[in-house]
């Protein structure tokens, strides 16, 4: 079923009148998001309610400080917005304290360093090319230059984190801070296993659940809450909220976390984002969201099986969550060439390093794909064979420079997308 199209100048009338140039660009991006199969695992479609909340007059306020302890007057309403959102976050994730002010995932992680360690101290995190995030102590990040970053990876034979190796590293390097979680990790994170290592070396343990927060909220991935000191998360990936972040912690760390975020690192919070996070958290507490989270994982599993059956080499052999990391070495097509051909076919992915990659990070061997956005459109597991077939045709066509297959797939993709309108967007 196809919903009627709403012209962009009616969707955003004030914008269209005041700035036709930018209004046209917004409309073009809406079109792109409507017509393409978006497989970037960190992206999603927020609901119309989240979109509305992030475009409100809460934008107009300055609110340095925390509810009840502000540096500006006029916070009668904003205090309630922030308190409500923080309460929802605590309830959903089962932690004692929530700070909902971090501007995004990277500043949230920097606040964790500021809260717990000093420059030069050792942090243990997963290395970027093995699936970790820049902010877990990688060299080009401030976290790897101001702190002593020690990095674990995955085993070459299994593609998975080996906790015995992590423990050996921790005992040898005595980190004060340990990050678990990552940005290209297709397998379940063993929070309890990391917690016992952190206890043994006396380190603060942070679960960075930026990618999997929605799966945890929806019960499709185990929760870190019983095991870790701090949870860091973005709000815009599987959690399906606005671009933003949160730090959750045990009560004993609340003060350190709050002081690190403000005044340690940031000025005024983005109140319109806080409200939109609150809306997303309310949505994430519903039975509908639980089935969404389950469907995201089911779609990723099925897509992985269909790709494996077509000769694709999946890092770790498959997935437990929303993402697949694919080594294209066997297909003899570099990751970037494949990603660009897929983009021309209306299938949006990113090129990505695979563990032990022999190619350079800006021209790696793999692609990373995920199912959060397509699942938000309601695309079911029964369509994953079609998606896998498109990916196969385009990647193989890219290898032989066959553009006509690419454009064939593009029109097939568009036809399927027309049948599954995306939340918050116009359709044809």
Helices 403-419 and 335-344: crossing angle, nearest 10°? 60
Is 64 among the catalytic positions?
Answer: yes
For residues 141 and 150, give the distance between their C-alpha atoms in angstroms, rounded to a whole number: 13
Which residue, 92 or 212, is less far from ligand PLP as judged by CB?
212
Q: What is the DSSP string of 49-106?
A: HHHHHHTSGGGG----EETTEESSS--HHHHHHHHHHHHHHHHHHT-SEEE---SSHH
105 binds ligand PLP (CB under 6 A): yes
370 binds ligand PLP (CB under 6 A): no
Is 208 among the catalytic positions?
Answer: yes
Strands 366-370 and 323-327: antiparallel
Least Cβ distance, residue 169 to ligand PLP (angstroms): 19
42 binds ligand PLP (CB under 6 A): yes
- Is the preceding peptide bond at 21 cis, omega within 30 degrees of 0? no
Which residue from 30, 82, 208, 283 is in contact with ligand PLP, where contact means CB under 6 A?
208
278 and 91 Cβ atoms separated by less than 8 Å: no
291 binds ligand PLP (CB under 6 A): no
55: its two tokens: 């475009």
Which residue from 47, 83, 104, 407 is in contact with ligand PLP, where contact means CB under 6 A?
104
Residues 166-205 that bind ligand PLP (CB under 6 A): 181-183
Which residue, 44 or 135, is less far from ligand PLP as judged by CB?
135
406 and 344 Cβ atoms separated by less than 8 Å: yes
Is 190 among the catalytic positions?
Answer: no
214 binds ligand PLP (CB under 6 A): no
Buried b (16+ CB within 10 A) or exposed e, 212-239: bbbbbbbebbbbbbebbbbbbbbbbbbb
Name the active-site residue from 38, 90, 176, 237.
237
Residues 121-140 that bind ligand PLP (CB under 6 A): 133, 135
Residues 382-411 that bind ligand PLP (CB under 6 A): none
Residues carrying an active site annotation: 62, 64, 208, 234, 237, 243
- Binding interface with ligand PLP (CB under 6 A): 42, 104-106, 109, 133, 135, 181-183, 208, 210-211, 234
């Amino acid at each position: 079923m196809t919903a009627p199209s709403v012209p962009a100048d009616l969707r955003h009338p004030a914008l269209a009148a005041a700035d036709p140039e930018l209004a046209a660009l917004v409309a073009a991006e809406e079109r792109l998001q409507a017509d393409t199969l978006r497989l970037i695992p960190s992206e999603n479609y927020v609901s119309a309610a989240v979109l509305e909340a992030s475009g409100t007059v809460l934008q107009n306020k300055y609110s340095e400080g925390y509810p009840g302890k502000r540096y500006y007057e006029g916070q009668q309403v904003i205090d309630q917005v922030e308190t409500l959102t923080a309460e929802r976050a605590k309830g959903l994730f089962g932690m004692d304290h929530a700070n909902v002010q971090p501007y995004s995932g990277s500043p949230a992680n920097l606040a964790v360093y500021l809260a717990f360690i000093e420059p030069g101290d050792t942090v243990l995190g997963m290395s970027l090319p093995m699936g970790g995030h820049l902010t877990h102590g990688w060299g080009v990040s401030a976290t790897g230059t101001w702190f002593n970053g020690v990095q674990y990876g995955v085993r070459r034979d299994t593609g998975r984190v080996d906790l015995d190796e992590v423990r050996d590293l921790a005992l040898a390097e005595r980190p004060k801070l340990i990050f678990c979680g990552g940005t290209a990790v297709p397998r379940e994170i063993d929070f309890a296993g990391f917690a016992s290592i952190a206890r043994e070396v006396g380190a603060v343990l942070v679960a960075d659940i930026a990618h999997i927060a929605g799966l945890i909220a929806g019960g499709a991935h185990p929760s870190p809450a019983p095991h870790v000191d701090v949870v860091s998360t973005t709000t815009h990936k599987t959690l399906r909220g606005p671009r933003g972040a949160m730090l959750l912690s045990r009560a004993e760390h609340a003060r350190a976390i709050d002081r690190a975020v403000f005044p340690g690192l940031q000025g005024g919070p983005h109140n319109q984002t806080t409200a939109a996070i609150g809306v997303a958290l309310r949505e994430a507490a519903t039975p509908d969201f639980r089935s969404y989270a389950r469907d995201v994982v089911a779609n990723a599993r099925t897509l992985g099986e269909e790709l494996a059956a077509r000769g694709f080499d999946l890092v770790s052999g498959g997935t437990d969550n929303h993402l697949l990391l694919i080594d294209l070495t066997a297909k003899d097509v570099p990751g970037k060439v494949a990603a660009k051909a897929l983009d021309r076919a209306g299938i949006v992915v990113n090129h990505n390093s695979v563990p032990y990659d022999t190619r350079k990070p800006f021209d790696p061997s793999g692609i990373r794909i995920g199912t959060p956005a397509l699942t938000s459109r309601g695309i079911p597991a029964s369509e994953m064979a079609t998606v896998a077939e498109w990916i196969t045709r385009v990647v193989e066509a890219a290898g032989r420079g066959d553009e006509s297959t690419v454009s064939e797939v593009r029109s097939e993709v568009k036809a399927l997308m027309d049948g599954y309108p995306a939340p918050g967007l116009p359709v044809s």
